[in-house]
Amino acid sequence: MSKLRVHGFSVSLDGYGAGPDQSREEPLGRGGEALHEWLLPTQTFQQLQRTPKPGTTGPDDEFAAQGFQNLGAWIMGRNMFGPVRVVGNDESWQGWWGKNPPYHVPVFVLTHHARPPLQMEGGTVFHFVTDGIEAALARAREAAGSRDIRLGGGVNTIRQYLNARLIDELHLAFSPLLLGSGEALFVGVDLLALGYRVSEHVGSGNAMHVVITRE
């Protein structure tokens, strides 16, 4: 069976996956963009952005590249797709990524607002799921076949899947900064009681990469 994986989810040292005061201009909240400074220079990210820069190699790039291997579908929360606090149910919104998003597979968006599927360039199709996390996972498994499913953000979406013991593997990149407030990833989550353990940890100059797997 395909696995449900989280990859490259960036967290501050004080446990926040997004800063306070999220908005259209600052979708990750105040200070939240800095969480991803480990990713931006990597070869994998530069290739996704189609820039002429060669990008860096090493542990950061290796973990970034792993996140795109053997994927047949994605699941994400509504606020990762768009600034729901700002645009609400505006169907003219087509995501943050332009006409050719970097997914190239079906993407299942958790939402309270029904909407027809959105076909984008490059093979990405956004499907809007209104009947919960398990329904989204079932549809993603059907679409992915034998390939894995990657679970994107945000924080609340990952917490829901963790508490339901549906995530098979969780890769966190702990960035060396403090946010002080925002969306705390592990509030109300007892990883040990849920049967998760640390299976790998690798440090780089920009982040501590920790992989947590379900027993």
Residue 14 domain-assigned (yes or no): yes
Q: Which of 108, 163, 148, 147 is nearest to 131 (CA)?
A: 108
pLDDT category of residue 162 using cuts at 50, 70 and 90: very high
Residue 70 domain-assigned (yes or no): yes
Question: In this predicted structure, what is the pLDDT of residue 88?
Answer: 54
The total of structural domains in the chain comes to 1
Stated as kind and residue range, the H or E segment containing 138 is helix 133-144
**Domain holding 40: CATH number?**
3.40.430.10
Residue 159 domain-assigned (yes or no): yes
Q: Is the pTM of this model over 0.95?
A: no
Which residue is it, tokens 């027993």?
215
pLDDT tens profile 111-157: 988 899 999 999 999 999 999 999 999 999 999 999 999 999 899 99
Residue 65 domain-assigned (yes or no): yes
Residue 23 domain-assigned (yes or no): no
Which residue is it, tokens 């996956």?
17
- Count Cβ atoms below 10 Å from residue 133 Cβ, excluding itself: 19
> By residue range, what is the domain housing residue 162?
4-18+28-88+95-214
Mean pLDDT of 165-187: 97
Residue 158 domain-assigned (yes or no): yes
Task: Provide the strand spans (E) within 130-195.
Answer: 148-151, 169-175, 183-184
Tell me what percent of the residues of the chain surpass a pLDDT of 70: 96
Mean pLDDT of 158-162: 98
pLDDT tens profile 17-33: 999 988 878 888 899 99
Q: How far apart are CA 174 and CA 172, in angstroms?
A: 6
Q: Which of 4-18, 21-35, 120-134, 198-212 has the lowest mean pLDDT?
A: 21-35
